[in-house]
Amino acid sequence: MILDHLPALQVVLPLISAPVIVLVRRSRFAWLMAVAVSWVAAAIAVMLAIRVADAGVISYALGNWQPPWGIEYRVDPLSAFVLVLVAGTAAIVAPFSRISVVAELPREQEYLLYAMFCLCLAGLLGITITGDVFNLFVFLEISSLSTYVMVALGQKRQALAAAYRYLIMGTIAATFYVIGIGMLYLMTGTLNMADLSVRLADVTDVRPILAAFAFITVGIGLKLALFPLHQWLPNAYTFAPSAVTAFLGATATKVSIYVLLRFYFTVFGTTLLFRAMPTDQVLMLLSLLGAVTASLVAVFQKDIKRMFAYSSVGQVGYITLGISLANTSGLTAAVVHLLNHAVTKGAIFILIAGITLRTGGASGFDRLKGIGSRMPFTSFGIVIGGLSLIGVPGTAGFVSKWYLVLGAIQRGEWIVAAVVLASSLIAAAYVWKFVETAYLTKPDESSVKAGEAPLPMLAFAWFMVVLCVFLGLDTSLSVGGARAAADFLLGGLR
Amino acid sequence: MTSLLAHPTTALFLGAVLVAILKGQARSVAALVAPLLALWLVWQVPEGIVWQTHFLGVEITPFAVDRLSRLFATIFSIMVFSGALFSLNQTSRLELPAAFVYAGSAIGVTFARDLVTVFLFWELMAIGSTLVIWSAGTRRSYAASMRYLMVHLTGGVLLLIGVTAFIAETGQATFGAMTPHSVGTWFILAAFLVNAGAPPLSAWLPDAYPEASWSGTVFLSAFTTKTAVYALLRGFPGAEILVFVGLFMVFYGILYALLENDMRRILSYSIVNQVGFMVTGIGIGTEMALNGAAAHAFAHIMYKALLLMSAGSVFYVTGKRKCTDLGGIFRTMPLTAICGIVGALAISAFPLTSGFISKSMIAQAAADRHMTVAWLLLAAASAGVFLHAGIKFPWFVFFQKDSGLRPPEPPLNMRIAMILLSVVCVGLGVFYEPLYHILPYATDYRPYTADHVVTQLQLLLFAGLAFFVMLGWLRRTLTISLDFDWFYRRLGPALVRIAEAVIEAGRAAVRTAVFDTMRAVGAWLVARHRPDALLARTWSTSGMALGVMLILLAYLVGFYVL
């Protein structure tokens, strides 16, 4: 009985835990609640994924109002994949977060951070699971608003400015999105995704649809940090509390990419005009520019958090590039890189959280000299994560890169394949920068003094690091799931 | 999966770990046992496919054995052993583990029967060899290792594009004989040739190898280029373009080696030259030619390692590397000198040495296919090899003028390593049957016919005569204490000087053009991506919002127009 309501529980549990945390106001309780909720959410996500793999798409009518009138929750291979990704990351970040939160935040703000964490989780899971475009907007706002608060809780003064910028940009994005779906509603009279895709195929007056498409693309492009709409991201990631960066870095942009996939392939996919427009070429160009530019910018950064934040923009470029290729290999690359990059960046940002714990919040490269001998496990973990960002064989990043290049070649885009591989060499340059600072520079008086990060933190980070290597060697689960999702998406296109 | 325990690469990788963590005697034992274990495993595993699996959606065969792979794995294992023996008193703790990873990956390539595994080991090999260069610990070696890594990462990019394209074209990843006719195979061929030291990127080899430590160069000389030779043997036998590439390499190596002053750089150019012989053989593509290329790779690894050990020993005890700084040290280093001469004779294909029984197969194959021009060029090149490696190296390092140096012989383990390889070089020249027996194709070739021996001796004698003529004349000039450079300028006065001028001018022009462009592009990129540049600085909120509006506008206008 209760198993039938898993899709609703997936979202509702984190959602109601937030007000409970605010009511109790005890930081320890808040933390325990966040851990419990994220673990349960992860368990539910895994169960849903198994059920989808066994029995196909799950459609759940919320409040028993049948779609397309009521809100439909839909779990298909793609959303199941993303649900596991988001809830899984939360389940890893939540337990260790206490260590870094206690160190970074004043005690009276701690419970707030956990409340926002639960809300953000609810929002991200909701975006992923819902089959209703307006409901998606609501969850988008929930996750965005809670994210602004979490970024603003960062203890540096710039955190407020970063949160403010993110808020303005995020609001513009949400507005664009809602204008877009407004137009779609105008033309079709429905908000259900599946229904939209059926009805859009019959719409003859295409101009409003095109406008809707433009608004939604730009709005979602902002949220997923598509170059050149990424300007909010580096500061938000740099100045947010470290645990928040680890969580957002692994999930926030990924969920927005999921929304883009949904709209491109499920909602607009059936319309002929979508295929007549050069949308894929535009996306491809922006993705390549983003991958190259952001990676180059990362090379010259003086702060490790900021460097990896820019690297995230570049990696998002690879994912959207896979989407723009629009063939099985390209989409497999995009979906599998959602996971691979989340695992890689999750590991890196958790390890950086450990570093900032020891430096008292600083993350500039001048403080990291000789860190290789002071924090050997942390440094080595970052190096392995870095290898995965480069796409060195044997790491998760290589698998993504492989399918991306394969997809580009299958489409005959030789230049794209070459640029992807060349830009991965730029990644080598910024990872090398860390290696040089950590291992080849002598520690001086400004370097980190204390030893390794606390064991629990290190353990969770290394779990991710090992996963990062495992996903590079055994691809049956990751690529299997991604391929199923890719086939599913392309099935909607045919 | 358990069959991977029987993979020789596993033995070497484990050896790398042990050598990295152990100290003292235990480390030496591990360093010597691991290669021997690998060699034993090479001959324990039965022929055929040992392990197959699926990766990245294609069937891969990381572990399969046949005659060709066994031949190369054998020589690679022997080479790691002698290299490890030679480098036991290397103070760098990084070099030997890196060399084991490097050699293990090379062996991994020889047992891989699919392109994905080849690529994986190819990249690992690049990293291992870079670390070997790096571990010399000098500023120059660091810079050289970075340049080296750049070239090999580029090669890796070519290979990855090639492999993915090949899979996209054919739907499978088997690594067997291919012909360069599709985009994928061309890229793969290009990547193999980069590692072989073929033009236009040949320069990475003589640039990087001499910057490694006295023992590091010995390892480097063996694996990268010869793995490429192996890959070409398996992948592109009979690809005609290789004949031209190979002949170009042969003469490129000779010319530059004649102009060079650094003893280990001379030998590095000579690697390009020797690999050129093998590549030519692969391009000729008959069974005889392929056998010759394989046998020559086998013999070459031995005598080139011997030459570099001899040069490395000199470098180790004197700290000097330039021919002009050396000379006359045969008095105190007779053993090193003798071993160096044995290596020099072998590389010159002197009868009764390993070079004789292998190189002649390639020339014979060219003759059999009536490739007259190729045959003549190969014959001329043989004389050139004698000049630059056979005489020039031992003469200027060990004899020549008296430099006043009185260095002692190197330590015992280094002497043993050199004696071992000298014995192998002569042994293979006399008892060549075992080597012929393990070649990829059955052969009944007889190297020691009266005709062949006489021809080769004539060739060498005339080349030697040319040198002796100049030698006598050199002795006279030495009395008026003329500098070494003077001799250089008189050696084939017009030819060499013109060649030098033309090549240097051409190279300088290309280098300036390429470097200037690269520098300009680099400066332009840096200017745009520095933290305070437009692309990297934090934009104001209104600026960001404006940007978003512009993009939306672009989309809307774009859609309207279309």
Residues 274-303 of A with CB under 8 A from B: 277-278, 282, 293, 296-297, 299-302
Chain A nearest-CA distance from B147, in A, is 13
Residues 63-82 of A with CB under 8 A from B: none
| Contact (CB, 8 A) for B324 and B484 | yes
- Determine whether the interchain pair B531/A302 forms a contact, defined as Cβ–Cβ distance below 8 Å: yes
Chain B nearest-CA distance from A96, in A, is 31
Taking only the tens place, the pLDDT of each residue in A168-182 is 999 999 999 999 999
Taking only the tens place, the pLDDT of each residue in A346-358 is 899 889 888 888 8
* Dist. CA B128–CA B111, nearest whole Å: 18
- pLDDT band of residue B496 (cuts 50, 70, 90) is low
How many Cα atoms sit within 13 Å of A31 on the Cβ side?
A: 16
Chain A nearest-CA distance from B415, in A, is 35
> Percentage of chain A surpassing pLDDT 70?
97
Q: What pLDDT was estimated at residue A272?
A: 54
Burial of B66 (0-12, 13-18, 19+ CB in 10 A): middle
Interface mutation vs chain B, best among A183, A280, A409, A479, most B CBs within 10 Å: A409
Average pLDDT over residues B5-13: 89
DSSP A73-135: EEE-HHHHHHHHHHHHHHHHHHHHHHHHHHHHS-HHHHHHHHHHHHHHHHHHHHHHHB-BHHH
Whether A449 shows a pLDDT value over 80: the answer reads no
Whether A164 shows a pLDDT value over 50: the answer reads yes
Whether B153 shows a pLDDT value over 80: the answer reads yes
Residues 329-388 of A with CB under 8 A from B: none
B56, B538, B545: residue with CB nearest A235? B538
- Determine whether the interchain pair B544/A234 forms a contact, defined as Cβ–Cβ distance below 8 Å: no
B56, B535, B548: residue with CB nearest A297? B535
B120, B529, B559: residue with CB nearest A296? B529
Average pLDDT over residues B224-234: 94
Residues 156-185 of A with CB under 8 A from B: 164-165, 168-169, 172, 176
- Determine whether the interchain pair A169/B548 forms a contact, defined as Cβ–Cβ distance below 8 Å: yes
| Contact (CB, 8 A) for B227 and B102 | no
- pLDDT band of residue B473 (cuts 50, 70, 90) is very low
Whether B476 shows a pLDDT value over 60: the answer reads no
Q: What pLDDT was estimated at residue B484?
A: 40
Interface mutation vs chain B, best among A229, A421, A433, A483, most B CBs within 10 Å: A421
Question: pLDDT averaged over chain B?
Answer: 85
| A406 close to B (CB below 8 A) | yes
Taking only the tens place, the pLDDT of each residue in B282-321 is 999 888 899 999 999 999 999 999 999 999 999 998 888 8
Interface mutation vs chain A, best among B535, B539, B557, most A CBs within 10 Å: B535
Average pLDDT over residues A332-352: 90
- pLDDT band of residue B493 (cuts 50, 70, 90) is low
B137, closest residue in chain A (CA to CA): A440
Residues 308-327 of A with CB under 8 A from B: 310
Whether A399 shows a pLDDT value over 60: the answer reads yes
Residues 1-60 of A with CB under 8 A from B: none
Of B82-86, B217-221, B405-409, the range with the lowest mean pLDDT is: B405-409
Entry pTM: 0.83
Domain ranges, ordered by start, for chain A: 291-494
Chain B nearest-CA distance from A403, in A, is 8
Q: What pLDDT was estimated at residue B499?
A: 65
Residues 176-235 of A with CB under 8 A from B: 176, 207, 210-211, 213-215, 217-218, 221-222, 228-229, 231-232, 234-235
Q: What pLDDT was estimated at residue B487?
A: 44
Taking only the tens place, the pLDDT of each residue in A261-309 is 888 888 887 555 556 667 778 888 989 998 998 888 888 888 888 899 8
| Contact (CB, 8 A) for B102 and B219 | yes
* Dist. CA B13–CA A430, nearest whole Å: 28
Burial of A78 (0-12, 13-18, 19+ CB in 10 A): buried
- Determine whether the interchain pair B536/A300 forms a contact, defined as Cβ–Cβ distance below 8 Å: yes
Q: What pLDDT was estimated at residue B477?
A: 36
Interface mutation vs chain A, best among B157, B183, B562, most A CBs within 10 Å: B157
Average pLDDT over residues B500-525: 75
Q: What pLDDT was estimated at residue A276?
A: 64
- pLDDT band of residue B525 (cuts 50, 70, 90) is confident
- Determine whether the interchain pair B124/A393 forms a contact, defined as Cβ–Cβ distance below 8 Å: yes
Long-range Cβ contact pairs of A145-148 (< 8 A, separation 24 or more): A145/A119, A146/A116, A146/A117, A146/A119, A146/A120, A147/A116, A147/A120, A147/A236, A147/A248, A147/A252
Identify any residues that bridge with B322 across adjacent strands, giving them in sequence order: B262
Whether A184 shows a pLDDT value over 50: the answer reads yes
* Dist. CA A314–CA A424, nearest whole Å: 10
Residues of B near A (CB-CB distance < 8 A)? 55-57, 119-120, 123-124, 153, 157, 160-161, 164-165, 167-168, 183, 525-526, 528-531, 535-536, 538-539, 541, 544-545, 547-548, 551-552, 555-556, 558-560, 562
Identify any residues that bridge with A61 across adjacent strands, giving them in sequence order: A72
Q: For A228, list phi and psi in degrees, rounded to 5.
A: -95, 30
- Residues 6+ positions from A129 with CB-CB distance below 8 Å: A7, A10, A11, A73, A74, A75, A79, A83
* Dist. CA B5–CA B11, nearest whole Å: 8
A163, closest residue in chain B (CA to CA): B541
Name the residue type at position B169.
E
Longest dimension (CA), chain B: 90
Strand, coil or helix: what is B400? coil
- Determine whether the interchain pair A475/B55 forms a contact, defined as Cβ–Cβ distance below 8 Å: yes
| A410 close to B (CB below 8 A) | yes
Instruction: Outline where A277-327 has alpha helix (H).
Output: 279-299, 304-325
Q: What pLDDT was estimated at residue B492?
A: 52
Distances (CA, A) of B475 to B334, B391, B482: 22, 16, 10
Q: What pLDDT was estimated at residue B478?
A: 37
Average pLDDT over residues B226-234: 94
Tokens 């990297």, residue located = B536
> Percentage of chain B surpassing pLDDT 90?
35
| A399 close to B (CB below 8 A) | yes
- Determine whether the interchain pair A425/B530 forms a contact, defined as Cβ–Cβ distance below 8 Å: no
Q: Which two tokens stand for residue A172?
A: 């513009």
Domain ranges, ordered by start, for chain B: 1-236, 255-467, 498-561
Q: What pLDDT was estimated at residue B490?
A: 52
| A422 close to B (CB below 8 A) | yes
Average pLDDT over residues A178-198: 88
**Angle, CA of B430, B232 and B10, to the nearest 5°:** 80
A172, closest residue in chain B (CA to CA): B545
Whether B233 shows a pLDDT value over 90: the answer reads yes
Q: What pLDDT was estimated at residue B369?
A: 84
- Residues 6+ positions from B531 with CB-CB distance below 8 Å: A300, A301, A302, B537
Q: What pLDDT was estimated at residue B451?
A: 82
Q: What pLDDT was estimated at residue A122?
A: 94
Average pLDDT over residues A475-487: 84
- Determine whether the interchain pair A277/B530 forms a contact, defined as Cβ–Cβ distance below 8 Å: no
Chain B nearest-CA distance from A453, in A, is 25
Chain A nearest-CA distance from B366, in A, is 38
Contacts of B530 in chain A (CB under 8 A): 300
Helix (H) / strand (E) element for A60: namely strand A58-61
Whether B488 shows a pLDDT value over 50: the answer reads no
Q: How many CB pairs under 8 A join A and B?
A: 107
Taking only the tens place, the pLDDT of each residue in A207-241 is 888 888 889 989 999 888 888 888 888 888 888 88
Question: pLDDT higher for A73 or B472?
Answer: A73
A251: nearest Cα among A361, A349, A182: A349
Q: What pLDDT was estimated at residue B77?
A: 94
Chain B nearest-CA distance from A313, in A, is 12
The ipTM value here is 0.80
Of A422-431, B60-69, B532-541, the range with the lowest mean pLDDT is: B532-541
Contacts of B552 in chain A (CB under 8 A): 176, 214-215, 218
Distances (CA, A) of A252 to A82, A246, A256, B266: 11, 10, 7, 57
| SS3 readout for B453-508 | HHHHHHHHHHHHHHHHHHHHHHHHHHHCCCCHHHHHHHCCHHHHHHHHHHHHHHHH
* Dist. CA B62–CA B44, nearest whole Å: 17
Chain B nearest-CA distance from A100, in A, is 27
- pLDDT band of residue B468 (cuts 50, 70, 90) is low
B297: nearest Cα among B74, B41, B101: B74
Chain A nearest-CA distance from B197, in A, is 21
Contacts of B558 in chain A (CB under 8 A): 282
